[in-house]
Amino acid sequence: MNAYVFEFHEINPTNSMLVGGKAANLAILTQIPSIHVPTGFCLSTAAFRRMLEMNPAISKLLEQAALLRVADRAAITELSASLCQTIESSPMPPEIQAAISQKLTQFGVATAYAIRSSATAEDLPSASFAGQHDSYLNVVGEAAIIQQIKACWASLFSERAMIYRLQQGFDQRSVRLAVIVQAMVFANVSGIMFTADPITANRKLLAIEASFGLGEALVAGRVNPDSYQLRNGEIVSTSIAIKQRASVPSKAGGTEEQPITPKQQHQPALSQPQLLELEAIGRTIEQHFGQPQDIEWCLADDQFYIVQSRPITTLYPIPAANDARNHIYISVGHQQMMTDAMKPLGLSIWQLTAGRPMVHAGGRLFVDVIDDLAVPARRAIMVDVLGKSDPLIRSALTTLIERGDFIPAAPAQPAASTLDKFKPASADSLEFQPTIENDPALVTALIEQSERDLANLKQTIVAKSGAELCDYILHDIQQLKQSLANPQSFGVIMNAINASNWLNERMDEWLDEKNAADSISQSVDHNITSAMGLALLDVADAIRPYPAVINYLAQTTKPNFLAQLEQFEGGSIAQQAIEAYLAKYGMRCAGEIDITRTRWSENPATLLPLMLHNIKSFTPGASQQKFAHGRQVAFNKEHELLARLQQLPDGAAKAAATKRVIDLIRNFIGYREYPKYHIVSRYFVYKQALLQAAEVLLQANILRNKSDIGYLTFAELHEVMRTQQLDYRLVEQRRVEYSHYQKLTPPRVLTSDGELLNGSYQRSDVPAGALVGLPVSAGLIEGRARVILQMEAATLEAGDILVTRFTDPSWTPLFVAIHGLVTEVGGLMTHGAVIAREYGLPAVVGVADATQRIRDGQRIRVDGSTGTIELL
């Protein structure tokens, strides 16, 4: 063994970085007694580095490559060609050629070999780099092997490989390529095996693709393979392809494609016993690696050989469970309009605040609903409640229920569930029956109590530090949970929601009037979130008279810009207006349920684009005008409905019942947004106190950065403050995990088998080519689509329609500037829907992949009554 060449049995954790992911995995496979791996050796990254040292021209080209961006396609093409040509034309360093010659003499110079890449950034848990680098089969003779090794090195800088690294955030200068030289297996049948189904992500379903000949053509997609699915020793599905061609070894070296005889074309590539044997091999390999695997295999002379195994990097993680029961997890993020990954501190504090147990996976929170779905009565409530919030969750749950193979039978005496209190009010009777008195003073009293609790928290927490601070926060979170569970608070919200449903159903039945509650809900009192959007218009009014201030705000991006305002005419007035806004709303931000996210008070510059847009696009007094307009719309709709009802049989009674419901909606529906505001207000107080405590840990050299507390759970942070000790490897590990989780898309529904279910809309009344979602705010609007993924990146013009993944309350200031809304996530009573109705904006939510299917700048038609988006 030397630094340049390693046989598979010589590879271990101490030198695995020298041989890359593929070779390291092959070395592990050779340690499994029942797994057959073709013999061979690996040319290490040290050999690649030695080749670079002998060619200074390559290093200069790599310096240029490090400056590239994904959009620089022409430059990528040019640099790629230069790098590949330089590497392939360079002589092999003599000492490396000698090491290769020695191994070829040992294994057989006349043997046919496969030459394959093994990059240091290949087959990683978060990025597989599959197919990015070249392989060469049936290579015979030392000269040919040397040349193909150089070609393999050059493939590290192919256009596709360079672009992939740019997309994944890898430095072009940091990657190194090892090369595997492995005895060729002349396979009768080859294929791929996934130990988790790549379509549904079901971990119990194993998928196999197989075709005659070598696997090269199958992996490249040039032949149609047979497809099989197996579960626990049973073949559950089979699809036999017409296999017209096969890749076979060429006598001159390399491979060629040959036609398959007509008789053989329709034959299955694998027999039933072979499939079951292959499944057992796959499960053995998966168990050894500890995670689902993507495996390349071949069959020669009735013997299976494994030539590659790598983790399946696209699977969404499954929440950890300590039992063998089935579980059905509902995404919390799709309910909270926050599907981004959260850091551990944010996850743990939201878990402590939640009203029912939550688990986490992939940086997101989920609720297990299997027990509720097992009880028929609760199942109906669960599907109804979640279906009104998000029809795609209803669809996904209905799929599981109808399958009948996952949800267990209900226990004889099921335990009580918090779901029982969600039973919807009956809409069958003429009268809506509220469960609490329709008293507007009740909402005022609830808000005043919340403000007193917040003031007490602010006053008391300043005296706490260290572990005592964590104890106090835990105590206060319990107080917060009690206030959220207050029967009056809960009753106000549920009565408003049920009354809105009653109004929509009754007006549709009696008057053929769709979505009546949308107009009735405009410009209600006590909606803290819609008031936040209007208040930013008032800030614009304060700044608008002062051109020097506006010019400064248009040019600065500094988080501390407020301190510089006093030097301009009107600066003090602008400063006071902005600071007053932040005093009331500065605890908000995008993704605000994650306590670790940067708040507006921490970076007020986030709001600058919105302030400047409001100054440019609105006239003085726009806030009051918009609110008055919405109130007039609601007033007119109320009088119209009552007048039409009076004309019906029993019209006086119907009108009186409807009037009582309208009054209740307008008194109570605005409070729907307040509990979330109260939660994030307290969270900001917690965060400020925790950051002060982190400063103490930083000064004691226990932390390297105050923000690192975000990578610890609250319990872990509590322990660090108690012991004054921290193993920083945990922080680094969590940082890497969080970076990976940010790239994942969470499912709406996830089973303990790993199966992802996102549901679908079953409708036949959709215009050709239109996208479908949930209509949440009535109206029809045409305009320019602005696809915006980050609120602070928004640039809007009059008439624009916002298209985004989700909107939480922090997006509300944008709503005053747009004319319509389309989101990928959301339901009838999620924040975006509530505020869209409050402002009278046509809105459709829950539109699958809207931000990919709608182009930024494209003209679209949004129908908030039918839930369709037409691409014009």
Catalytic residues, by residue number, are 831
What span, in angstroms and rounded, lies between the C-alpha atoms of 294 and 735? 26
Is the separation of the CB atoms in 130 and 137 below 8 Å? no
SS3 call for 750: strand
Work out the number of other CB atoms within 10 angstroms of the CB of residue 318.
20
Token pair listed for 863: 């129908």
139 DSSP β-pair partners: 113
| Residue in the block written with tokens 């409708």 | 763
Please give the backbone phi and psi of residue 791, each rounded to the nearest 5 degrees, phi first.
Answer: -60, -40
Helices (H), 43-137: 45-53, 56-65, 73-89, 94-107
Token pair listed for 536: 């930013």
Please give the backbone phi and psi of residue 239, each rounded to the nearest 5 degrees, phi first.
Answer: -135, 110
- Which helix (H) or strand (E) segment holds residue 803: the answer is strand 801-804
Tell me the three-class secondary structure of 127-187, residue by residue. CCCCCCCCEEEEECCHHHHHHHHHHHHHHHHCHHHHHHHHHHCCCCCCCCEEEEEEECCCC
Is the separation of the CB atoms in 702 and 731 below 8 Å? no
One-letter amino acid for residue 517 of the chain: A
What span, in angstroms and rounded, lies between the C-alpha atoms of 359 and 332? 10
SS3 call for 191: strand
What span, in angstroms and rounded, lies between the C-alpha atoms of 92 and 50? 10
Quickly count helices (H) and strands (E) in the chain: 31, 26
Give whole-number Cα distances, 87 to 50, 60, 77, 198, 513, in Å: 12, 13, 16, 36, 72
Give whole-number Cα distances, 416 to 279, 332, 648, 649, 668, in Å: 42, 22, 44, 44, 29
CA angle 818, 819, 825 (to 5 degrees): 75
- Which helix (H) or strand (E) segment holds residue 749: the answer is strand 749-751
Q: What is the CA radius of gyration of the chain?
A: 32
- Bridge-based pairing of strands 801-804 and 780-787 is parallel
118 DSSP β-pair partners: 178
Is the separation of the CB atoms in 186 and 249 below 8 Å? yes
What span, in angstroms and rounded, lies between the C-alpha atoms of 200 and 442? 48
Closest to 689 measured CA to CA, from 845, 420, 458: 458
Closest to 251 measured CA to CA, from 189, 296, 301, 186: 186
